[in-house]
Amino acid sequence: MGATMLGIGAGLDHVFGGPDAENQQLPKVANPEVPFYGTHQAGIATPSQDFLSFAAFDITSSSIDDLRDVLKQWTAATAALAAGRPYGLSEEGADVAPTDTGEAFGTGPSRLTITFGFGPGLLGSLAEDRFGFARKRPHHLADLPGFRGESLDPKRSGGDVCAQACADDPQVAFHAIHVLARLASGAATLRWTQQGFGRTSSTSREQPTPRNLMGFKDGTNNLRVEEEREMNKHVWVQRGDGPDWMKGGTYMVVRRIKILLDVWDTTSIEGQERAVGREKVSGAPLGRDGEHDAVDLKAKKNGELSIPANAHIRLASPEVNGDQRILRRGFSYNEPSLAGSGQLDAGLFFICFQRDPRRQFVPIQRRLAASDALGRHLLHTGSGVFACPSGASRGGFIGEGLFA
C-alpha cells in the first residue's frame, strides 16, 4: 500500500503540485486565495464568501504557555489552509494520525479566511484574571447587556476564543474548523459551532445584494469593504482607541437570530414591506422605485410617512443612530426541524464588526429591541462579543501583542 510517508508526500505533490509548482494540478478557481498575512485579519474587509463555519472555544488549560502554543499552531494552520495547502502532514508517518483530516484535499483555497477573536472571559478582569491580561483589556470589550425579547441559550453563547471560517465551499470552511479543533486538543475545547450559507448582507460593491430567509434584499446600505475612510471611521480600531495590541483590529458581535417563519409567512406582503421599510421584490425604499434610491426618512405620502416610524431600516439607519454604522457580515442558517416542532428552524447568524460595540451595536440593538416592527418575527437565541486583534506578520502569530 502507498500509505508510507513517501506515498503521502508523493500523492500530495501530485494533488497540490508541490510548493514550487504553482499548483499546476489544481483546477483554476476565480479569486481563489485571500492573503493571510497583513495589517488586518482576513475575513473582515474580505468581500463575504458564500459559507460560514463558526466555532467558539473554551481555553481549558490555565497555562499561558499552552495558550500561546495553540495560538501559534492556529496561526500556522490558517496560513497553510488559506493558501490551499494541507497542514501537518509532512512531519508524520503513515503509522500516526496526521493533523490534517483530508476532506479539503484538492479543493483549492476557495477564498478561505479564518478570523480570530478573544472573549471577555479570556481577557479577564480584576476579579478573575486567568492569564494576567486584565490590564491590557480594552474597555470597548464589555459583556453585552440584556436586550428586550431575547432568549439566549448559554450553549450557543460566549466563549474564550472564536474562529470565523468563511469560504466559497462549505467543505473548506468545515475542514478549517475541524483542523483547528484537532490542534486545540489539550489546551482548548469546542464550546459551540454554527454553520451558515448565503451572505445576508452586501459587503462589497462587486457583489449583488443577497436575499435573507425573510425573502428581502438585505444590506443594500451596508458599509462596503471598499470604503476605506468609512472602514477606518467605523470598523478598524485606531491608534489611541485603547491598548496597542488592538490597533488595526476590530470588535465582533455575533447573534443567532431565529426567524419565526410561521407568523412572518402569514403576514401580507404589505405588512412585511412596512415592517422592513422596503419593497420585497425590488428592494426599493418604500415610496421610491429602485433598490439603490436614497432612503428619505422624511418622505410622506397622503400625510403619512412613506417609511413607517417603526420600520426596520429607519431604526437601524445611521440618521437615527448618531451616524454610527457597523459592517454586517452575516449568514443564513437552516438546521434540522425535529419531530414535534412542525416548524422550520431557520434564521440569520448575524455577525458585525465595529470600532466600539458600546457606541455601535449596543445602542442600535437597544433601539431595535424597543420598537422595530421586525422584532416580533425574530428571536435572538445566541450571542457573543469578541476582540479581534490585528493581523499577523510572517513569523508572528495572531494575538501576539497580548503576550508582549
Residues 287-346 that bind a copy of itself (CB under 8 A): 287, 289, 306, 332, 334-346
17 binds a copy of itself (CB under 8 A): no
CB closer to a copy of itself out of 62 and 341: 341
Instruction: Centre a 10 Å sphere on the Cβ of residue 393 and count the other Cβ atoms it contains.
Output: 11
Task: Compute the distance between CA of residue 392 and CA of residue 270 in angstroms, rounded to an integer.
Answer: 49
96 binds a copy of itself (CB under 8 A): yes
Choose, by CB under 8 A, the member of 106, 121, 138, 363 that binds a copy of itself.
Answer: 106
Task: Compute the distance between CA of residue 91 and CA of residue 98 in angstroms, rounded to an integer.
Answer: 9
Q: Which of residues 69-88 bind a copy of itself (CB under 8 A)?
A: none
Task: Compute the distance between CA of residue 243 and CA of residue 249 in angstroms, rounded to an integer.
Answer: 11
Task: Please name the amino acid found at residue 288.
Answer: R
Choose, by CB under 8 A, the member of 38, 98, 121, 396 that binds a copy of itself.
Answer: 98
For 248, half-sphere exposure in the C-beta direction (CA atoms, 13 angstrom radius) is: 15
The grid cell for 285 is 425604499
Choose, by CB under 8 A, the member of 18, 72, 189, 299 that binds a copy of itself.
Answer: 189
By the 10 Å C-beta count (0-12 exposed, 13-18 middle, 19+ buried), 106 is classed as: middle
The footprint of a copy of itself on this chain (CB under 8 A) covers a number of residues equal to 81
216 binds a copy of itself (CB under 8 A): yes
Closest CA to 175 of 91, 256, 109: 109
Q: Which of residues 142-161 bind a copy of itself (CB under 8 A)?
A: 153-156
User: Helices in 146-284 by DSSP H: which ranges?
Assistant: 170-184, 228-234, 261-265, 269-276
Choose, by CB under 8 A, the member of 21, 260, 269, 370 that binds a copy of itself.
Answer: 269
The grid cell for 216 is 428581502
273 binds a copy of itself (CB under 8 A): yes
Task: Compute the distance between CA of residue 119 and CA of residue 62 in angstroms, rounded to an integer.
Answer: 16
Choose, by CB under 8 A, the member of 102, 124, 318, 401 that binds a copy of itself.
Answer: 102
Q: How far apart are the first and last CA of the chain?
A: 48
Choose, by CB under 8 A, the member of 81, 83, 284, 326 that binds a copy of itself.
Answer: 284
Choose, by CB under 8 A, the member of 72, 130, 247, 280 that binds a copy of itself.
Answer: 280
CB closer to a copy of itself out of 40 and 274: 274
Cβ 232 to a copy of itself, closest distance in Å?
A: 33
CB closer to a copy of itself out of 305 and 369: 305
Place of cell 503576550: 403
For Cα atoms 261, 267, 273, give the angle at the middle one, nearest 5 degrees.
105
Cβ 102 to a copy of itself, closest distance in Å?
A: 3
Identify which range of 39-47, 126-134, 172-180, 322-330 contacts a copy of itself by CB under 8 A. Answer: 172-180
CB closer to a copy of itself out of 35 and 154: 154
CB 101 within 8 A of CB 180: no
